[in-house]
Amino acid sequence: MLTNDPLTGLPLIPATVLFKNVGNEPDKMPDGQVCKSKTQGNFYSLSTVMNPANAIKMDAAAAWYASHLSGFKKIQGYADGRSQIAFYNANGTLVILLTGQLGAQGENTDAFSVSYERSQPGLSVKTIAGLTQGKFVCN
């Protein structure tokens, strides 16, 4: 069982373990580009998808990350019917994007997935905010 994401070294929320005694290896996201930054990422489904009995609400997942990511800032958005919460480090090189199940804006839905992303050079706060709103904002 992984306790840290292999790409970023950041802690993994326990909800990435979908079933007892089953691994929680990430799905590698295709390398890409966000504005002028080269980006790599890992994607994890959360237990709400495969094992609803172990569901975690967005507020609880955000609180877990806030308590485990020292020095990271948080920004929230809403896109395509889903809550989005991003945690990012000071230089924008590491971003964790938490996505909720479909629901109304402001609803505390179950968490759906989380991605861990590394960008070089780092993303601006404006760009990270755009990611939580489903759009690219380059400056």
Query: Which residues are registered as beta bridge partners of 88?
Result: 73, 95
Instruction: Report which residue type is found at 22.
Output: V
What is the DSSP secondary-structure string of 32-84?
EEETTEEEEEEEEE-HHHH-GGG--BHHHHHHHHHHHSTT-EEEEEEETTEEE
Element (H, E) at 125: helix 125-131
DSSP strand pairing (82-88 vs 73-79): antiparallel
Which of 42-46, 47-51, 61-65 is least confident? 47-51
| pLDDT band, residue 42 (cuts 50/70/90) | very high
Which of 13-17, 93-97, 115-119 is least confident? 13-17
Q: What's the average model confidence in pLDDT over 66-94?
A: 97
Indicate whether this model's pTM tops 0.85: yes
Average pLDDT in the chain: 92
Q: Which domains does the chain have, with CATH numbers?
A: 28-131 (3.30.160)
